[in-house]
Every structure is written in C-alpha cells, then in structure tokens.
Structure 1
Amino acid sequence: MDYDCLIVDDERELAETTCEYFNLFDVRAAYVTDARACRSFLREHRVSLLLLDINLNETSGFQLCKELRQETGIPILFISARTSEDDVLIALEIGGDDYIHKPYTLRVLLAKVKAVLKRLNSDGTSPERETWSAGPVRIDPESRRASLENGEPLKLKAMEYKLLSYLIRHKNRVIPKEELFSGVWGDVFAGDGTLNVHIRHLREKIEPNPHEPVFIRTVWGVGYVFQED
C-alpha cells in the first residue's frame, strides 16, 4: 500500500493524533513508535515522506536517518523538542530535509508536509513505475533509490537524489542553472554555491575521475548537462 507520510515517534498519543489529523485532510498517513517498526513498514509499503523524531526508545532518529540514507532518498523531516542548534545542524548534515520543533501545531505541520509532497509531485521525483538510466547510473523512482550499473547503491542525500534524477531525466540537454534551481529546489532558496557543492558531491560518487568529469559536464555561463554518448 502507498502512503504519503510515515510518522516515527515514540510519543504514541501524539503520533496517533497527528496521523488522524493528516488523514482527515487527504494525506495518507501511518505511524510507528520505534526504528524496528519503521524499517519493517518501509519494506512492506511505499512511503513518500518521513516525519522522524530524534528520541526513540532503542536508538536515535539520527542513527535511523543515517541507516535509511544508505538505501533511499525519501524526504526526512525531523520533529523534536530538542532546540539545540547543534541538533539542527546534525539533522541536516546527515540527510534530513527539515527540522520542526515540538510542540508544533497540526495545521502548520500539515502545511509543511503538503508543501514537500507538492514539490515531489511537480518535479517528477515522486514514485512511478518506470526506471531511469544514463551512463553508469540507474534510478528507481518507485523506491527513490539510485545505484551504479554494477548494482552498487549510491549513498545520496535527498537533494543530491533530486538533482541527479533531474539531470538524468533530461540527459544530453544543457540545463540552465535557473531551471535547476526551480526544478530541484523549488521555492527553497538556493544559489550557485549550493548547486556547485551538490554537483561536486555527485561527481565524486559517479565519475571515474571527479576532476575530469565525463558524465556531469559544466557548460560555462549556462549550466550543466548529463552527457551520455
């Protein structure tokens, strides 16, 4: 079964209330209360977005996020009562896409989730039945996973996955930077520095020699192209 959102929170009453509220507004949601149940749920269902608490019973949300990032580029929004700036930075550094402080209002949380789901649907990276490939890269939008042609999984953060997917879906076409900002980052602010860092990270993961790229090529003054001869 397909779900828009999976809530992973050991506060069962809060998770249940949030889940019920989401479903009232046509966001198909479910909840689990620990990391083991989360892993099991993701094996059995397709999920578009994860709401993840940091404090879980037998492990931390940070550890679970790092494990999931080995396998999937699904958007992960952290929800936590912890307000330390270090916690926020860690969450974003290990692959989280946002950090939402508790206590939250259900209306605001729903709006944030709907915004992410809308971007997923509009940029073409929501789950589909087709598979995309170019050069040494294979992308399965259904599971939101990327791998090399030898089967080795690519460990991508969420925005790296979205950028690589966009480049591959438009392979052999020069894509202006402005189109990448709009198509990948949407209404989230991004500039040349952000784009350059993501391009560098992708090259390090897929190019034989990242310093002399043969797949993700720069077109100076314009943008980038994923070249497949």
Structure 2
Amino acid sequence: MSEHSAPQPPARILVVDDDPTVAEVVTGYLDRSGFAVEHAADGPEALLRAEERRPDLVVLDLMLPGLDGLEVCRRLRETGPIPVIMLTARGDEDDRITGLEVGADDYVTKPFSPRELVLRVESVLRRSRAAAGPAAPRTVLRAAGLTADPGTRRATRAGDELPLTLREFDLLAYFLEHPGTAHTREELMRRVWGWDFGDLSTVTVHVRRLRAKIEDDPARPRLIRTVWGVGYRFEPRQDGGAA
C-alpha cells in the first residue's frame, strides 16, 4: 500500500444557465480552476443530470425555461443536502432573499466577475466538505433546551431533531458557543460563512430562518435578540421565566 493517499478527484460542478455566452464563460473559468464541469440549459435537464450523477455543487441561474431556478433548488434539496450558488440578473432584493430561503448557500448577481464566482464556489465547497468530513470530538453544545452536536451535526429542540441546513447548523452552533455576546453581521459572515466579502442580507435571512425553527414566536424572538445598531445576540437566559 502506498504511503501517500490517492489524490482527491476534482469537485463536480453543474452549471445551469440557458444563456450560451454566460454558460461558456462560467464553465470555462471553473474548468481552468480545476473543477470537473457539466452544463445544463434548463431546469428539467439540470434535475436529470443531478439524478444521474450527483454534483458536489450547483451554479444555478434563477431565470430558466421549463422550471425556474427556485423550483430546481427546492427539488434538489428534497434529495439531500447539496450546495447551491444562484445566479440572478434581477436587481430586486426580494428575489435574492427568496433564493436563500429555499436553500441556496450563496448568490451572485449578473453581471459578475467570473473570478469572484470561482472564489464563492471554493468557499462554499470548503464549508460543505468540512461539514461532511470526519470531525474531531467536540462537546455537545446545550442551552435553552437546544443542543448542537458538531460531531454528528445534529441539532435538537426539546428533544426533537431540527431540520437545519448546513449554514443554519453552523449559525446555531456559533450562537451556542458564544452566549450573551453581541455579534455584527460582518463578524457572523466571517466566522460562520468564512467570507470576508458578500451581501450581509445572507446573514439576515439565515437568522430569520433559524428563528423560525427555534423560537416559540419568531415574530417576537427571545433567544436570538436583535441588538440595534450592532447585530444579534444569543440570550439563553429568558427574562421573566418560562414563556
């Protein structure tokens, strides 16, 4: 047996875009960056290719013939966790937020720098592989009836397992590790996402999604508090006793 482990195969990237020019540029940059790239021109073809050979990450255009990117993302996520970066030509923030809410890990707005897209792909893949790989033994995090086990990446609320996405789990674990501390959105983006750049609405959306899963009343959160002018604070001690 060789003393050296076999080289890791290149990550498989599925690019889904009906614009031939954009698809050529994106696949070209990703290919030159060492990824194994496939292209699908519409939603049904994307789902078929993903079923035939599951990609490590999908670069997904929002506006597609057949099925739009939001529906494709929903259906991909129904089959299991898969990193998704959305491409959108729209300037409406609601469209970008909707993409994050259906499970996209990140988005890039057209026109974009292909090099920036490659950096986003590398960042999302790093986090995804770290989550999927063997983890060093770590203490299960507990507070306010919540648990997060970094080893198994399982989280519970009052004993019931929480259906958290990759980022939602990381965000919850970070809050549980730092109770009572106010964090800016920039800090959360660096610590949880591992990004030094990006749209901070990504953090806002994921905090909202996490609140919907752990708060008794997400409209009046008591665990993840908004610290006006700063960001967010996880407060496991609830004023006034039990709700």
Taking structure 1 as the reference length, the TM-score comes to 0.60
Residue equivalent to 1:74: 83
* Residue pairs, 1:52-201, within 5 angstroms: 52-68=60-76, 72=81, 74-80=83-89, 84-86=90-92, 89-95=94-100, 97-101=106-110, 108-109=113-114, 111-120=115-124, 126-130=130-134, 135=146, 153-154=163-164, 161-168=166-173, 171-174=176-179, 177-178=183-184, 179-184=187-192, 186-188=195-197, 198-201=206-209
Q: Distance in 2 between matches of 1:151 and 1:130?
A: 21
Q: Paired residues, what number?
A: 207
Query: Which residue is 2:5 aligned to?
Result: none
Aligned-residue offset at 1:199? 3.1
In the alignment, what sits opposite 2:240?
none
Cα deviation per residue 1:5-32 (whole Å; 9 max; x = unaligned)? 3201234575356424421222332222
RMSD: 4.6
CA–CA separation in structure 2 for the residues paired with 1:12 and 1:141: 41
- How many Å separate the matches in 2 of 1:138 and 1:6? 31
Q: Does the 8 A contact of 1:167 with 1:225 survive in 2?
A: no
Q: Deviations over 1:120-145 (max 9, x none)?
A: 36667755234897646678999xx9
Given candidates 41, 47, 72, the residue that maps to 1:33 is 41
| Distance in 1, Cα, partners of 2:44 & 2:214 | 31
Query: Comparing 170-179 with 93-102, which one deviates more in the overlay?
Result: 170-179
CA contact (8 A) 1:172 1:225 kept: no
In structure 2, runs of 5+ residues without a counterpart are 1-8, 237-243
Given candidates 19, 23, 26, the residue that maps to 1:15 is 23
Deviation, 1:202, is: 0.9
| 1:34–1:58 contact (8 Å) kept in structure 2 | yes
Higher RCO by CA contacts (8 Å cutoff, separation 6 or greater): 1
1:218 is displaced (CA, Å) by 5.5
| Letter of the structure 2 residue corresponding to residue 78 of structure 1 | L
Between Structure 1 and Structure 2, whose CA radius of gyration is higher?
2
SS in 2 for 1:94: helix
- The amino acid across from 2:13 in the alignment is C
Deviation, structure 1 residue 117 = 3.2
Change (3 A) 1:4 1:89: farther
Q: How many angstroms apart in 2 are the aligned matches of 1:54 and 1:194? A: 17
Offset from partner CA, 1:50-78 (integer Å, 9 cap, x none): 32223433222233234445654724221
**Post-superposition shift, 1:224?**
4.2
Task: List per-residue Cα deviations over 1:62-106 (Å, max 9, x = no partner).
Answer: 3323444565472422154xxx534x631433325334326x6xx
